[in-house]
A and B are shown apart, each in its own frame.
Chain A
């Protein structure tokens, strides 16, 4: 098998279909390993990884940290809220200071789109994008598509509807790119105001009627309404959004065929999805979380294998 075609994971846009298959195949092995009595392997014992989180994160950060620790890497954590960034330090200075401590890899989340690309050009280290503003969240898309593959055996030919706040969602962009690379058909569904105009250029179907979208798809990836990124009000009220785009058991029972539900988390229970649906057999939300660790282990392992081969 070949190497990954990239030295960083900046976005799904930069990687190939073959890269995704290599990541999935490696993740299969890690999934087996994290279900052993001893879940740790010594592979990355000579690698140090810095988690630079310039934006809040719970599950992505925990998932990355667990993946790093299960590979035996040394891990340092950095949160912008409690750092010198508040004192005016630039991104490159912060990164270079951390790299001076002989760090081999940076996992970075940043509120500004393109920040990991900028850092990859300015520093001499391996960067993994853990979410950059409203741009990309490649590891989430890889774990989502891996979970679909695990459920159906194949992603090719599957119909996937991404539902909710597409405009502010890096998960949506990365998922669209990953699903299309793997041969799935993609539809986005949400209020007109939350679907960006450029979306047509990505070759996806657009639907504003939830029932039509759900009757079309095999898989629904339901996104959170990102109130923290909305500078203006995009819909009249949360109650109206729930009435038109909230997923509940009544709707699922009306569908012609059963569908599989994904959600990248955190869930706003009772808003985009009801508790009943989130906890039902349709949902593979907890599988996504488990697969997240395995997929991130695979990505870190494959990229670390390319660092300064001796």
Chain B
């Protein structure tokens, strides 16, 4: 019995109610965490803004060149609250539109890496033997290439596909590059958990009742490792948003739509001339989202960590 102060206190508190499921415990714990609720609200706000980006109004507003080049931020028009860029476009509208791009890219990439990571982790942990060795080989290989380099290599390789690059503004390239790079961590975690669960009685019982492999994997084991997926999703989004910035900087990012990465990239020369508003706006947008996601991810991890429940 470890004297972890947090686990002792939490365990003492959790003994208060009759045993409940992991999810209800976690939800109860999250509800008590005011900071986490605030972050959840912030993320929800971003989602709303992202959805707004699908409307034609915002699209038009983001590409209209209404103002003077590098016009300073001022109160006189809503579009000028954050100033104008070198083509006279409103930074504010571009920023808001960029939310849509950022979240679309991040969510799609995360979904891909979650899908790949979970599937591979499940089959590796469950079946073991040569399948396990194969998956380990796969993720050792992918892991051996530093993430940035891998993204670069993938983005570079996919550049030749004209449709992906020009007609879809390079979004699939970015999404694929991010998604196919980020699955390793989750895969490893899930594989470990599945291997632990494989030996548990409920799996043996299910097999004794005649359940097939697929059913056991998806209906019995997967719900028990789902919390890892949630945590990975939240923290993976942070990585994706920041990686998009990196790719944009390298010219491998989204091509003709406004994205936060492009805005920061454009800013590199502007800044030395004293034009700060575009980079500050994009940085702030990224910072607030990443901060909220980080805190939320940590809170989720604390809430879902079975060790803190005092049992097991």
Co-assembled chains A and B: no
B interface residues, Cβ below 8 angstroms from A: none
Residues of A within 8 A of B (CB): none
